[in-house]
Amino acid sequence: MKNIGVLTSGGDSPGMNAAIRAVVRTGVYHGMNVYGIRRGYQGMIDGDIQLMQTTDVSNIIQRGGTILKTARSKEFMTPEGMQKAYEQLQKHGIEGLVLIGGDGTFRGAVKFFEQYTIPAVGLPGTIDKDLSGTDLTIGFDTAVNTAVEAIDKIRDTAEAHDRVFVIELMGRDAGYIALNSGIACGAEDILIPETVTHIDELLNKIEADELRKKAVHIIVVAEGDDFGGATEVHASITERFPRLDVRACVLGHIQRGGSPTYTDRVLASRMGHAAVNALRSGDTQVMIGIVNNEIVHTPFTNVIKGTTPISADLIDMIRILSV
């Protein structure tokens, strides 16, 4: 295989640049031509494709975002869009692809490869960590660290004012960012979609805390929680306790930006290098993951909407520690 393409698709995640760097440099090392496809699948359709050199990826390992830009392409999900994309790949002589993205990226890939045959390898680039076949996704660690830093700051002002704070974190349908940030910040409550939220239990806990003169209560809620987000939780608390000083905060896209942590940089470098090796060895239509510190390959169809169950032990630990 001589010509390969690399793209980033879906929501960006810190570490995508480190992954692009690893793909380009490993490819060039093996004598390949590596083409950067800009704006994900949309750039594939539009033929926004350029040959990359090792110097094009200098000084990016530490940068958030993605130098290739990203998009969520609706057109790619149509038969016409897919055909245009395939024609562009043919036109550029691209014989293999590295797809860096999350759940939506792999869903798109599965549909595309039902119709068209081209070897491809995926890298899990998402802050949500909602893919099977890997212990970590590129960007998750940075997103959690960003959330932790923000929640620590919110706790300072909560302590100063004796306030209840409801902080909503990203994750789409998954609660891993909220779960891990909540544990790391000593949140009094963590609401995630993987467990059923009983709002009455939360309200009773706030009442019990009030009785023992504990005024500050940090509630971390995942955006995909079954009860609702920060707005809904805030409304329930103020309805039952109109006297309490309650604030809601939606952390939002700050969780997607910033310089990747060393964990994400190393993860992305290892995965990018492994992706090119997988293409070269012909083990394709798989996502590269790292499980127990070893590189593993999982077919695209098996990684989508992957959830790692949250152990009963962990839930029990949170209950004991968050008093």
Residues of each annotated binding site for substrate: 126-128, 163, 170-172, 223, 247, 253-256
Does 102 sit near ligand F6P (CB under 6 A)? yes
Q: How far is C-alpha 239 from the geometric centre of its chain's CA atoms?
A: 34
Q: Identify the residue among 26, 66, 70, 126 touching ligand F6P (CB under 6 A).
A: 126
Does 289 sit near ligand F6P (CB under 6 A)? no
Long-range contacts of 55-59 (CB under 8 A, 24+ apart): 56/24, 57/17, 57/20, 57/21, 57/24, 57/25
Does 171 sit near ligand F6P (CB under 6 A)? yes
Binding range to ligand F6P, per CB under 6 A, among 146-154, 167-175, 303-311, 313-321: 167-175
Binding range to ligand F6P, per CB under 6 A, among 41-49, 106-114, 168-176, 194-202: 168-176
Does 221 sit near ligand F6P (CB under 6 A)? no
Cα 137 to Cα 59, 113, 123, 218, 233: the distances in Å are: 22, 23, 8, 27, 29
The amino acid sitting at 171 is G
Q: How far is C-alpha 261 from the geometric centre of its chain's CA atoms?
A: 14
Give least dist CB 97 to ligand F6P, A. Answer: 21
The amino acid sitting at 214 is K
Give least dist CB 10 to ligand F6P, A. Answer: 6
Cα–Cα dist 92/86, whole Å: 10
Give least dist CB 170 to ligand F6P, A. Answer: 3
Q: What residues numbered 81-100 form the site for ligand F6P, per CB under 6 A?
A: none
Cα–Cα dist 228/231, whole Å: 8
For residue 128, indicate whether it is catalytic.
yes
Q: How far is C-alpha 262 from the geometric centre of its chain's CA atoms?
A: 16
Does 32 sit near ligand F6P (CB under 6 A)? no
Does 124 sit near ligand F6P (CB under 6 A)? no
Cα–Cα nearest to 178, from 214, 150, 206: 150
Helices (H) and strands (E) in the chain, counts: 11, 11
Give least dist CB 221 to ligand F6P, A. Answer: 13
Does 170 sit near ligand F6P (CB under 6 A)? yes
Does 256 sit near ligand F6P (CB under 6 A)? yes
Angle 71-300-11 (CA atoms, 0-180°, nearest 5)?
20
Give least dist CB 139 to ligand F6P, A. Answer: 9
Does 286 sit near ligand F6P (CB under 6 A)? no
Residue (170 or 192) nearer to ligand F6P, CB: 170
Q: Identify the residue among 25, 69, 163, 172 touching ligand F6P (CB under 6 A).
A: 172
Question: Looking at residue 236, what DSSP letter applies?
Answer: H
Question: Looking at residue 45, what DSSP letter applies?
Answer: H
Cα–Cα dist 179/169, whole Å: 10
Residues within the interface to ligand F6P (CB under 6 A) = 11, 102, 126-128, 170-172, 223, 256
Q: Just list the catalytic residues.
A: 128
